[in-house]
Amino acid sequence: MPLEIGEKLASAGYGVFGMDYEGHGHSEGVRCYITKFDNIVNDCSSFFKSICELQEYKGKAKFLYGESMGGAVSLLLHKKDPSFWDGAIFVAPMCKISEKLKPHPVVVSILTGLEEVIPKWKIVPSKDVINSAFKDRTKREMIRKNKLIYQDKPRLKTALELMRASLSVETTLHEVTLPFLVLHGEADKVTDPEISKALYNRASSVDKTMKLYPGMWHGLTAGETDENTELVLGDIISWLDKRAKSNASLEFYLPVPTYKGRNINEFQEGRFRASL
C-alpha cells in the first residue's frame, strides 16, 4: 500500500500498520527472493498479532488490507486463523492464476527441476510490470525512480513460490468466510479481473462486495489519476464506515498499489453480522 493511502485511512480515523516482507522494501535479505511463501505469511501473522496484544489495541476490530501479492498474503492469513480477522479489503488480489497466463505443465516441470540449483537466478521471462500496472504516466515515472521497488525479472524460486501460493489460494477460495470488499480495474493486465470474480463467486462469506472499475488498470491506489484514486479510496472508507460503530476504532493490517460519473459495476451479498 502506498504511504499516502495509509495516511488517508489514518486521517479517516483508522489505525494503520504494515511491514516490509523479507527481501522487500527496507527489510534485509536478497532483493525480492522468496524461499518459502509461508515464511511471509508467518512473519505477518507474528507482527500483526504482536500489535493486537498491546493494551491500547485490545478489543478493536481488525481488518486486513492486501494489494496484488498482498491479497494472497491476506487470504492465507485468514486461512491460518479464520476467526481472528473481522474483515478484509482486497485490491487487484493475486488469488488465482489467470488461464491466459498459466504456464504449460512441461515448463513448470523444467523450472521446478532447476529451482534448487539456481534459485536466485533472474531467468523467468516477464513483461515490464510497471508499464502494465500504472496508468498515469507521471506516477509511473515516480515509481521507476523509487529504488525500493524491484524492477528486474523475477527470481526462479520467487516465481515458483508465487505460483504455488496462487494455486493454494485458488483451491481454497470456498473456505473464505470473513466479510470482504474486493476491488479490481477492468483493464488490469497484471492480475486478471476474472480472479476477483472467482473470489467473489466462490467465497462462502455472507457479507461480500465486489467493485469493478471500467478503464482502470492494476495500480488502483498508486497508478491512476488523482480523481480515480480518490474514488477508490472513497469506496474503501465507505465500506469500512458501514461496518464500524460510530464510537469504535478499526485497526488495519497491510501485508505489504477519469471518471466524471460513477460508472462502476458493483455486486453485494448479505449483511454484516460481526460485532465490533
pLDDT of residue 204 exceeding 50, the answer is yes
Mean pLDDT value across the chain: 85
How many angstroms separate the CA atoms of 219 and 221, rounded? 6
Please check whether residue 253 is in contact with residue 66, taking contact to mean a CB–CB distance below 8 angstroms: no
User: What pLDDT is stored for residue 17 in this prediction?
Assistant: 92
- For 62-73, what is the mean pLDDT? 94
Q: Which domains can be identified in the chain, with CATH numbers?
A: 3-269 (3.40.50.1820)
Residue 81 bears catalytic tag: no
User: What pLDDT is stored for residue 173 in this prediction?
Assistant: 96
111 sits in which H/E element: helix 105-114
Of 187 and 265, the structure prediction assigns the larger pLDDT to: 187
pLDDT band at residue 271 under the 50/70/90 scheme: very low
**From the candidates 24, 78, 184, 218, which is the catalytic residue?**
218
Closest CA to 244 of 9, 73, 3: 9
CA atoms within 13 Å, Cβ hemisphere of 156? 16
Range from 8-17, 70-79, 105-114 that averages highest in pLDDT: 70-79
User: What pLDDT is stored for residue 261 in this prediction?
Assistant: 38
252 sits in which H/E element: strand 250-255
User: What pLDDT is stored for residue 125 in this prediction?
Assistant: 66
Residue 74 bears catalytic tag: no
pLDDT band at residue 96 under the 50/70/90 scheme: confident
Of 261 and 162, the structure prediction assigns the larger pLDDT to: 162
How many angstroms separate the CA atoms of 147 and 151, rounded? 9
**From the candidates 86, 136, 188, 235, which is the catalytic residue?**
188
Residue 184 bears catalytic tag: no
pLDDT digits (tens, 9 = 90+) for 161-184: 999 999 899 999 999 999 999 999
pLDDT of residue 251 exceeding 80, the answer is no
Map residue 206 onto helix, strand or coil.
coil
CA atoms within 13 Å, Cβ hemisphere of 205? 32
pLDDT of residue 153 exceeding 90, the answer is no
User: What pLDDT is stored for residue 209 in this prediction?
Assistant: 98
pLDDT band at residue 199 under the 50/70/90 scheme: very high
**From the candidates 68, 74, 196, 205, which is the catalytic residue?**
68
Q: Name the residue with cell 510490470.
A: 129
pLDDT digits (tens, 9 = 90+) for 118-140: 999 987 766 678 888 899 999 99
pLDDT of residue 247 exceeding 90, the answer is no
pLDDT of residue 263 exceeding 50, the answer is no
